[in-house]
Copies of this chain bind each other. A is one copy, B any other.
Amino acid sequence: MIFTELEISDVRFPTSRSLDGSDAMNPDPDYSAAYVVLRTDVGDGHEGHGFAFTIGRGNDVQAAAIASLRPYVVGRPVATVLADLGGFWRELVHDSQLRWLGPEKGVMHMAIAAVVNALWDLRAKREGLPVWRLLSRLSPEELVDLVDFRYLDDALTREEALQLLRAAQPGRAEREEHLLRAGYPAYTTSPGWLGYDDEKLRRLCKEAVADGFGQIKLKVGADLADDVRRMTIARQACGPDFPIAVDANQRWDVPTAIRWMRELARFDPHWIEEPTSPDDLLGHATIARELAPMRVATGEHVANRVVFKQLLQLDAISYLQIDATRVAGVNENVAILLLAAKFGVPVCPHAGGVGLCELVQHLAMFDYVAVSGEMTDRVIEYVDHLHEHFVDPVVIRDGRYVAPVAPGFSTTIRPRTLAEYAYPHGRVWSGAAPAEEAVGGTPEPGRPGPEMAS
């Protein structure tokens, strides 16, 4: 029983056509997926679905990178690969020739994410479990076998990881039950797009609170006077103690970040996200030190576990924001969750874009059940966008992610969407569909769109 096919689609949503919002770093994203379907000759009807998320141009490059991994999958025995996903991960990431293209970063690393996540989707479907429950039932030994500790040893050894996981074993079942009952807290970025007028900002802030969200996030960084005015409104609308995070999307250099956020400190932002380049670890540390006790968050553009390790070693972040498709899939995120647990830093996953909410909920829930064992001071980002294209979309109730129960990784996009949004020949791109329909409904007049992947 072997893998017979690794099918790739270039799927793009023309979010830039009808949505005029976004921020100065990202004026016109077309949320896209370089999408993978793995097929086998097992005959059980199960496929593995996964993708890398991009924001438009270059999605074809991402697809080409995934195609270069085809020989590592097609023809291989299904059971053997799925039984040793740690070994498979190492094989892909440490391929000596492909490694040159990173190493462990950018297009090639995200391609590995797409394939690895598709394998997890398949494995979970075969075992009849959602990925979060599948991971949560693995033994500590099985979990550390998923992780590549190369370059991590000075911060976290395999033995330390085992101890962490063993310490979290008691209570796994109760926490799983708790998640199925109560879900996981979400926060919403919806009120905070830069382009909203003040009245709309005020209204959406109040709605977010009324809808039960425990936190909101505002985009900042384009104009300081605007940011001060918008934070004043948001603080008034949400109340003095409501967590309001702000996000600069890498807009600033280090001195600017410090200067700017000193002006916004009086509004007590819950965190400042991506104040500068995601590669500038020392910059993040300097910003965190200068602005303390203000908290710094980052992660959606952090290339790999080695970079996260250093952000933790430097005490540069108070919240670690994992991304489901930036690093090399589930396995690397297990490593990052373990690092965060070791350093006692809460994980608040990045989501938005297309399908990132669907994926990352599984990782946060697994973290709660089997790694950190904590839900306090943790939230998963939520953006209400493009979920209708998924077979098993996220469900938000009372400001919380409802725990998914369908087997798999919630990665499967509807076949009709795959056909209509195929780039450049799908109906949506060849001109047959109007823009409003193309992005999944008529946007509210004047409603700016999400930026980047939030």
Residues of A participating in the B interface, judged by any CB pair closer than 8 Å: 25-30, 54-58, 60-62, 64-65, 68, 95-98, 100-110, 150-154, 250, 253-256, 276-283, 286, 301, 303-304, 306-307, 309-310, 313-314, 452
Chain B residue numbers with a CB within 8 Å of A55 are 96-97, 100
Chain B residue numbers with a CB within 8 Å of A54 are 97, 100-101
Determine the main DSSP class of A at the interface with B.
loop
Instruction: Report yes or no: B104 in contact with A107, Cβ–Cβ below 8 A.
Output: no
12 contacts between A and B (CB under 8 A): A54-B97, A58-B68, A61-B64, A61-B68, A102-B105, A103-B250, A104-B279, A105-B105, A105-B106, A151-B279, A151-B283, A280-B310
Q: How far, in Å, is A252 (CB) from chain B's closest CB?
A: 9
Question: How far is it, in angstroms, between the C-alpha of A154 and the C-alpha of B255 when the chains are bound?
Answer: 7
Chain B residue numbers with a CB within 8 Å of A277 are 103-104, 150-151, 306
Known interface pairs A304-B279, A307-B279; A61-B97 also in contact (CB < 8 Å): no
Question: How far is it, in angstroms, between the C-alpha of A57 and the C-alpha of B91 when the chains are bound?
Answer: 14
Question: How far is it, in angstroms, between the C-alpha of A57 and the C-alpha of B104 when the chains are bound?
Answer: 15
Question: How far is it, in angstroms, between the C-alpha of A108 and the C-alpha of B301 when the chains are bound?
Answer: 15
Q: How far, in Å, is A20 (CB) from chain B's closest CB?
A: 14
Question: How far is it, in angstroms, between the C-alpha of A280 and the C-alpha of B109 when the chains are bound?
Answer: 17
Complex A-B, nearest 10 residue pairs according to Cβ-Cβ distance, in ascending order: A106-B106, A64-B64, A57-B97, A56-B97, A107-B107, A154-B254, A151-B277, A279-B306, A153-B253, A55-B100
Instruction: Report yes or no: A103 in contact with B61, Cβ–Cβ below 8 A.
Output: no
Question: How far is it, in angstroms, between the C-alpha of A25 and the C-alpha of B250 when the chains are bound?
Answer: 34
Q: How far, in Å, is A176 (CB) from chain B's closest CB?
A: 34
Question: How far is it, in angstroms, between the C-alpha of A108 and the C-alpha of B56 when the chains are bound?
Answer: 14
Instruction: Report yes or no: A283 in contact with B154, Cβ–Cβ below 8 A.
Output: yes
Q: How far, in Å, is A11 (CB) from chain B's closest CB?
A: 15
Q: How far, in Å, is A101 (CB) from chain B's closest CB?
A: 5
Q: How far, in Å, is A103 (CB) from chain B's closest CB?
A: 6
Question: How far is it, in angstroms, between the C-alpha of A282 and the C-alpha of B309 when the chains are bound?
Answer: 10
Known interface pairs A57-B68, A62-B101, A282-B314; A26-B96 also in contact (CB < 8 Å): yes
Known interface pairs A103-B278, A306-B279; A57-B151 also in contact (CB < 8 Å): no
User: Which residue of B has the minimal Cβ distance to A287?
Assistant: B154
User: Which residue of B has the minimal Cβ distance to A258?
Assistant: B154
Chain B residue numbers with a CB within 8 Å of A98 are 57-58
User: Which residue of B has the minimal Cβ distance to A63?
Assistant: B64
Chain B residue numbers with a CB within 8 Å of A57 are 68, 95, 97-98
Q: How far, in Å, is A67 (CB) from chain B's closest CB?
A: 8
Instruction: Report yes or no: A60 in contact with B56, Cβ–Cβ below 8 A.
Output: no
Known interface pairs A61-B61, A97-B55, A101-B62; A276-B106 also in contact (CB < 8 Å): no
User: Which residue of B has the minimal Cβ distance to A452?
Assistant: B100
User: Which residue of B has the minimal Cβ distance to A28?
Assistant: B96
Instruction: Report yes or no: B106 in contact with A101, Cβ–Cβ below 8 A.
Output: yes
Question: How far is it, in angstroms, between the C-alpha of A108 and the C-alpha of B104 when the chains are bound?
Answer: 14
Instruction: Report yes or no: A101 in contact with B283, Cβ–Cβ below 8 A.
Output: no
User: Which residue of B has the minimal Cβ distance to A94?
Assistant: B25
Question: How far is it, in angstroms, between the C-alpha of A100 and the C-alpha of B29 when the chains are bound?
Answer: 10
Q: How far, in Å, is A43 (CB) from chain B's closest CB?
A: 32
Q: How far, in Å, is A55 (CB) from chain B's closest CB?
A: 5
